[in-house]
């Protein structure tokens, strides 16, 4: 049962929005669409009769079933005149459509006793995809979900799990203002948010680590989550483009413009165009033992499953053509949002909504909190909260973060003045603002996490960003 719950968590995210709407369309709804499209093919393939071959009348019923099974597991083919189909699988100009050739060619005259083509200017076109079509759809749906798996697996390296952090934001959004539980959740969110944006938790203690996206050593605002999210966005775009290329390679290069050709034929003829890529009638070559000798039989087969394949893969083409520009535009928007001027404009607007500053102070305060505290990851998380829960919640959270940051800065300034005047100061007042009294010693590119004793606190340098720092 726990595994099933975990699988539901992986697929649906348990209603915790940790990405935007375009990502949800890719990793959740697209997976459901491809599962739905694969269902009729699975039903026809394993319950109905996906292929029916016409066998000689003296074949027994068991021999006819054998021919059907053999022709289904092996590839069938159809014949076209040489030059009627070009190298990319599309009909050449001023020639007959290959779908009509299966009815017009005299196969008894065109194919010899051993299955060799005897007629001039005829060649075979093999049909090899229909056995794999349901598996292709399932793999396509899973590929749309893989970038989300990477996002969820790597985001916890930010010091706190992004799902847990945004779950707190969802809980806060569900409670009315003034609720005591809401205030407690806000305080917890601020504490976890501070841990994330400072980048001091989750440091890599292995000096051999050379992968920057999985190891974050350093202090100050981080950009790990933001860059990881842009990578995931790029994988969504790359996934759709690669699926176009793979389907084209599997079904013939003409599939790349299948939808365009379908529209052109529909506008010209006013009727649905049956693509030669999905033939309904094919040939199958079978060798069977008759009266002690092997004989080759050319059986004519009907593929009812291609009625489904043609419609379904046409829908797949249009869906991929629809989602590719959406993913590209979404990636471009998030790249535009990480520019310093856009990050600063977002923080300035959100701080202005808090009504904590005058217009003369808003620019200086927003630049200070964005540069020294929030950084890339902080602004990114606030944008996700605004996207999923509205600007009001993002404004409330940024107001609480500003109070926390200003109190932290005041405590640091008082501690610095006390040390400058030679007074011991109230060290407890400084450490009460920060969520921990952990310190980091950096040696040879590695971070080691430790704790100060009271004697070390008295002799330590002033704190930096709420943490006690000691670098040798």
DSSP string, 310-363: HHHHHHHHHHHHHHHHHHHHHHHHHHHHTSHHHHHHHHHHHHHHHT-S-HHHHH
Q: What are phi and psi of 100, to 5 degrees?
A: -90, -15
Measured distance CA(458)–CA(396) in Å, rounded: 37
Could you say which residues of the chain have pLDDT below 50? 1-7, 12-14, 85-106, 109, 114-115, 119, 200-220, 425-472
Measured distance CA(150)–CA(256) in Å, rounded: 29
pLDDT at res. 102: 45
209 sits in the region (left: phi over 0; alpha: psi -120 to 50; else beta) called beta
Other CB atoms within a 10 A radius of the CB of residue 213 amount to 11
Global confidence as pTM: 0.73
**How does pLDDT run across 297-307, given as a tens digit for each residue?**
888 899 888 88
Q: E strand or H helix at 281, and its extent?
A: strand 281-290
Measured distance CA(447)–CA(134) in Å, rounded: 50
- Sheet strands side by side (includes 76-81): 52-54, 293-302, 281-290, 76-81, 122-127
pLDDT at res. 237: 95
**How does pLDDT run across 53-86, given as a tens digit for each residue?**
888 888 888 888 888 888 888 878 887 766 554 4
pLDDT at res. 32: 92
Pull the structure tokens for residue 418. Answer: 């006390």
pLDDT at res. 336: 94
Q: What are phi and psi of 381, to 5 degrees?
A: -65, -40
Pull the structure tokens for residue 414. Answer: 């008082």
pLDDT at res. 25: 92
pLDDT at res. 168: 86
pLDDT at res. 131: 84
Torsion of CA 117, 122, 127, 128, to 10 degrees: 60
pLDDT at res. 423: 57
């Amino acid at each position: 049962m726990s595994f099933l719950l975990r699988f539901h968590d992986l697929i649906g995210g348990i209603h915790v929005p940790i990405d935007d709407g375009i990502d949800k369309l890719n990793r959740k709804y697209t997976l459901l669409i491809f599962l739905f499209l694969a269902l009729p093919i699975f039903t026809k393939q394993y319950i109905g009769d996906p292929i029916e071959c016409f066998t000689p009348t003296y074949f027994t019923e068991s021999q006819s079933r054998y021919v059907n099974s053999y022709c289904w597991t092996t590839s069938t083919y159809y014949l076209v005149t040489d030059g009627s189909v070009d190298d990319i699988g599309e009909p050449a100009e001023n020639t007959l459509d290959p779908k009509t050739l299966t009815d017009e060619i005299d196969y008894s005259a065109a194919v010899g006793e051993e299955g060799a083509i005897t007629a001039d200017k005829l060649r075979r076109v093999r049909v090899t995809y229909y056995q794999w079509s349901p598996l292709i759809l399932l793999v396509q749906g899973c590929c749309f979900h893989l970038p989300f798996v990477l996002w969820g697996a790597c985001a916890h390296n930010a010091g706190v799990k992004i799902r847990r952090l945004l779950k707190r934001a969802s809980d806060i959004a569900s409670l009315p203002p003034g609720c005591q539980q809401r205030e407690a959740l806000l305080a917890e969110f601020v504490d976890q948010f501070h841990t994330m944006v400072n980048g001091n938790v989750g440091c890599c203690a292995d000096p051999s680590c050379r992968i920057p996206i999985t190891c974050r050593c350093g202090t100050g605002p981080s950009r790990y989550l933001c860059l990881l999210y842009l990578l995931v966005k790029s994988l969504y775009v790359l996934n759709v483009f690669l699926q176009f290329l793979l389907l084209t390679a599997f079904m013939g290069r003409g599939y790349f413009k299948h939808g365009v050709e379908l529209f052109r034929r529909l506008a010209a003829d006013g009727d649905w165009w049956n693509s030669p890529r999905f033939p309904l009638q094919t040939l199958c070559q079978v060798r069977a033992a008759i009266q002690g000798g092997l004989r080759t039989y050319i059986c004519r087969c009907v593929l009812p499953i291609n009625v489904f394949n043609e419609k379904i893969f046409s829908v797949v083409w249009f869906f991929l053509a629809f989602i590719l520009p959406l993913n590209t535009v979404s990636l471009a928007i998030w790249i535009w949002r990480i520019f310093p001027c856009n990050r600063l404009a977002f923080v300035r607007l959100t701080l202005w909504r808090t009504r904590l500053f005058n217009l003369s102070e808003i620019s200086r305060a927003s630049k200070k909190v964005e540069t020294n505290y929030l950084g890339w990851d902080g602004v990114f998380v606030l944008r996700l909260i605004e996207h999923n829960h509205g600007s009001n919640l993002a404004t409330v959270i940024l107001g609480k973060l500003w109070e926390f940051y200003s109190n932290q800065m005041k405590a640091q300034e008082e501690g610095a003045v006390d040390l400058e005047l030679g007074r011991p100061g109230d060290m407890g007042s400084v450490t009460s603002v920060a969520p921990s009294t952990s310190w980091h010693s950096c040696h040879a590119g590695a971070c080691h996490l430790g704790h100060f004793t009271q004697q070390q606190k008295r002799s330590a340098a002033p704190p930096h960003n709420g943490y006690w720092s000691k670098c040798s």
